[in-house]
Amino acid sequence: MTLPNHHAQAIIDRVLQGRSREDAVQRLSPRLPVTEPLPERLKSFTDHSVVALHKRRELLASLGICTTQLAGEGPEIEPEQLAGNIENQVGMARIPVGVVGPLRVNGSAAHGDFYVPMATTEGALVASYHRGAMLVSQAGGATAICLTEILTRAPVFQFESVRDVGLFLAWLLPEFPQLQAIVGQTTAHGKLRDVQTSIVGKEVFLLFEYTTGDASGQNMVTVATQALCQWIVENSPVVPQHWFIDGNMSGDKKATVQAFSYARGKKVVAESVLPALLVRRILNTTPEQIVRYAALSAIGGIQSGSIGVQGHYANGLAAVFLACGQDVACVSEAAVGLTRMDITKEGDLYVSVSVPNLICGTVGGGTSMPTAKECLTMLGCAGAGHARKLAEIFAALLLCGEISITGAMAAGEFAAAHQKHGRKSTAGGGNPS
């Protein structure tokens, strides 16, 4: 996952954000509860009574977090409001939302204690992430940094010969400032940052790289690329025989080695150092056993041909994407990455996650839905100016999930946890799994 020098400098600038180096280091350092107490933790997560449900809502309300829409007490969504979000509407899907937290994040954009909403029907999932969040927060929090922001679209042009491809590129590449200006006419928020080329015989793929502001940007870059292609075809001295707006090279909604090796969406890293005493108390195992399992898991992942090696990014991403109005299909590409575990010289557990393809936004798409808006507001991420903050919270959440699932595997408790939390009672009308 190497980066050109100018990208590396942009990362440094993004992390500092005008702060001094000392201030940036302090912002990204652990904040231990002994010196900065955590807010109240959501308790009784195995209590499914009406009383417990209301207590959880009351706790969030006492912290200024509104759950009116999530509780089904808000106004109905009129069908007209859903234009642009759904076709052939017949109703609304009801998916339960649980909350993990508090999760302490010490990020370059996200800095605070967060209650993270997760929409899922998979028993044991929220409990696992909740446990991981408790461990991470007790240890001082997760350091998280959004490193890069790139969204791609890759049109393909077909010519009569490779010679024509060369003539085409010789004309096109110096026109990059004009391409940027055309993009600026289609969006006030997106910018064209670079274009890469791939020649395959008489075809050439153009990989346009955009930044998309606070939107996830899938529609934005599609509209911009359409405008670019039309201008190119109308002005090129060598007219292509055929062209298509995407030649399936961008990696849109699929896991690709290209995106994993570089980035698509937001690339975010998160890490935490977990004291051995806390690991033993909360996970019922040791740092040594966890690292031993992680090493064997990596070998298994390599043998399976996994793009990256991680435990279950898709679990956390699907749940938080559903809750926060993200494009859930993007989980297919966002759920790749690397989970890293090691033992420090003090004998504590070091854990990090590197997520290179995290596509998320705080404006546009499904973020305007009432429940999604409420969940984004819960995170302090509703509206413009918060996309990088949201990405860092998501990465910190994935860190919690990796810690908890690996701890369960190492302690031999994985099956028991699903037996306890993931099986429906026949008395409650469900079927045992």
Contact 142, 271 (CB under 8 A): yes
- Residue 58 Cα to chain centre, angstroms: 29
Considering the candidates 7, 111, 122, 413, report the single residue annotated as catalytic.
122
The per-residue DSSP string of 68-125 comes to TTTTT-SPPPPGGGGTTT-SS--------EEEEEEEEEEESS-EEEEEEEEE---TTH
Catalytic annotation present for 214: no
> Residue 127 CA to chain centroid, in angstroms?
20
Both tokens of 432, joined, read: 């045992």
Q: Quickly list H helices, 305-386.
A: 313-323, 331-334, 370-378
Q: Ramachandran region of residue 213, left (φ > 0), alpha (ψ -120 to 50) or beta? A: left
Give Cβ neighbours of residue 245 (< 8 Å, ≥ 6 apart). Answer: 153, 155, 222, 225, 226, 229
Q: What is the dihedral of CA 225, 173, 150, 1, to 10 degrees?
A: 140
Q: What would the two tokens of residue 11 be? A: 């990362």
Annotated catalytic residue, options 7, 111, 189, 418: 418
Active-site choice (113, 214, 327, 374): 327
Amino acid at 418: H
CA angle 207/212/216 to nearest 5° reads: 100
Task: List Cβ neighbours of 195 (8 Å cut-off, separation of 6 or more).
Answer: 173, 176, 179, 206, 207, 208, 209
122 catalytic, yes or no?
yes
Does the annotation mark 242 as catalytic?
no
Euclidean distance between CA atoms 148 and 141, whole angstroms: 22
> How far, CA to CA in Å, does 82 sit from each of 70, 74, 360, 361, 402?
18, 16, 20, 18, 36
DSSP codes joined into one string, 220-238? HHHHHHHHHHHHHHHH-SS
| 360 closest CA partner among 401, 402, 318 | 318
Kindly list the distances between the CA atom of residue 249 and the CA atoms of 162, 197, 223, 259, in Å, as whole numbers in the listed order.
Answer: 19, 11, 17, 10
Active site residues: 122, 327, 418
